[in-house]
Amino acid sequence: MLRRVTLPLEGKAIRFAPGRELEPAAWFWRVWTEGNEIYALTRVSGGIVKLSVHASGQIHYRLGPKHKQDLAPVMQLGSSPWLHAFEIRFLTNEGARTPPRQRESLKNKSAYVIPVLSGNFLIVNLILGRPGTSSSSPLPAQFSGAKVLWRSKLPDHRLAVLIARMLELDDENRKKIDYYRKELKPTATFSGTPGESYIELQHLHWSTGGNIILVIPMGDEALRSEQEAIAPTMAGISRIFRYQGPHAVAEIIAPNGLPVAVLEIDEVDQKVELAKGQPSTHELGTLRMRLEPSNLIEGSEFIASPCRLVCIPTVAGARPRDWTYMVYSRFNGFILSAEVMQISISFQNKNFSIPLSHLSDREELVIQIPSEKLKILATMDAPATAAKVLGRFNLRDRR
């Protein structure tokens, strides 16, 4: 259930979100403690994001179970007894969609919606007091006037405090909103109509103020349908694009430092026939994996560190700056599996010094490779295996 703001909440987990009146204007965040560590969790379009603040002062960011990133450690705030962990800046804005069915997702759990007036934005900071800091200790000078949302005393006698401020939307943050919504304009494409779908971007960076997470709810511009109408004169007219993919190789390394497999993508040079407004899937070569059985111990399980497979394609003479597949691998004692994560790009002539042939300035060519999850398996008895690499192409009008 949603609650009006009667805070601070002491000790137990808190769920909160910025709101338009009492309706959430972004995904809920949950903050809680386990022992001497503090965690923060939220949803994003790509899954679940989890921040962990450890007793050592180290902070980690995880997207789903696989992607992990080290953030800057907690930072001393002047001469005060307080340390700064991270800031969440909710850049809610006019015209943005709101996440659907948030009330239903709570079930019988409590959550707090903090109303944000038009022309303002919400900033939430997690700060930590050194051992002995009391709940009555004044907040650091730069956070004067902030409201305490939540606090918890940790077993090691440190104090964890979540504070919130409401600020007027200034030019700097307006420019950030305009950049993501009007210039970058990432889109999610649905096979049918988007309906109540909601897209929220997060940008994580470090500044002199420490770790900052920007939360930007997107509007209709971020949602597209494969069923969007196209001009009748263009329907059914096919165009040929040349696709070239280089030969690429990467090694999978076990935790003991030994190479346990080689991944390889064949070189490919082929023509891809596309019709505007008709997404299609094409075979783009082969992914091969070859195990090094002598470096594997049967029955001994491990998860390998992610490896990078660099394979920058060329489409109609244009190349993206980077095209690096992240590969996540694990060994269950007999089978080694490797999962290749998807990459997507929108080719637009404005981004290249030499325009793509057969592509007008009002169009874009969206490519996603692999077209769906690509997982390859090899065993100690059959150490060599291969799988087709499929790519999804969508030639459409750009917005």
The pLDDT tens digits of the residues spanning 275-284 come to 998 899 999 9
Domain count across the chain = 2
Is the pLDDT confidence value at 191 over 90?
no
Residue 287 lies in a domain: yes
Residue 233 lies in a domain: no
Of 191, 225, 259, the domain-final residue: 225
User: What confidence score (pLDDT) does residue 128 get?
Assistant: 96
Of 194, 225, 256, the domain-final residue: 225
Phi and psi torsions of 173, nearest 5°: -80, -30
User: Are residues 143 and 113 both part of a single domain?
Assistant: yes
Q: Could you tell me if 245 and 311 are in contact, meaning their C-beta atoms sit under 8 angstroms apart?
A: yes
User: Are residues 337 and 196 both part of a single domain?
Assistant: no
In this structure, which amino acid lies at residue 121? F
Phi and psi torsions of 141, nearest 5°: -55, -40
Residue 166 lies in a domain: yes
User: What confidence score (pLDDT) does residue 233 get?
Assistant: 47
User: Are residues 208 and 269 both part of a single domain?
Assistant: no
d(CA 74, CA 53): 8
Question: Following DSSP, what letter does each residue of 14-55 receive, concatenated?
Answer: EEEEEEETTEESS--EEEEEETTEEEEEEEETTEEEEEEE-T
Q: The tokens of 243 are what?
A: 């696709």
Higher pLDDT: 233 or 137? It is 137
User: Are residues 297 and 203 both part of a single domain?
Assistant: no
- Give pLDDT tens digits for 341-361: 999 888 999 888 888 888 998
0.75 surpassed by pTM: no
Residue 136 lies in a domain: yes
Residue 230 lies in a domain: no
d(CA 306, CA 350): 34
Q: What percent of the chain has pLDDT over 90?
A: 60
User: Are residues 250 and 334 both part of a single domain?
Assistant: yes
User: Are residues 384 and 347 both part of a single domain?
Assistant: yes
CA angle 322-325-328, nearest 5°?
150
Is the pLDDT confidence value at 88 over 90?
yes
Place of tokens 């939307």: 169
For residue 103, give the 3-state DSSP assignment.
Answer: helix
User: Are residues 259 and 128 both part of a single domain?
Assistant: no
User: Are residues 213 and 326 both part of a single domain?
Assistant: no
Residue 45 lies in a domain: yes
CA 85 to chain centroid, in Å, comes to 20
User: Are residues 192 and 250 both part of a single domain?
Assistant: no
User: Are residues 170 and 275 both part of a single domain?
Assistant: no
For residue 102, give the 3-state DSSP assignment.
Answer: helix
Structural domain containing residue 297: 238-397
Residue 232 lies in a domain: no
Place of tokens 């305490």: 148
Residue 266 lies in a domain: yes
Kindly give, in sequence order, each residue whose CB lies less than 8 Å from that of residue 126, ignoring residues fewer than 6 positions away: 31, 38, 40, 53, 84, 85, 86, 87, 160, 161, 162
User: Are residues 32 and 168 both part of a single domain?
Assistant: yes
Element (H, E) at 229: none
End-to-end Cα spacing for the chain: 39
User: Are residues 197 and 253 both part of a single domain?
Assistant: no
Kindly give, in sequence order, each residue whose CB lies less than 8 Å from that of residue 171, ignoring residues fewer than 6 positions away: none
Distances (CA, A) of 347 to 314, 380, 395: 11, 41, 10
Higher pLDDT: 67 or 261? It is 261
Place of tokens 């969007």: 228
Of 225, 255, 277, the domain-final residue: 225
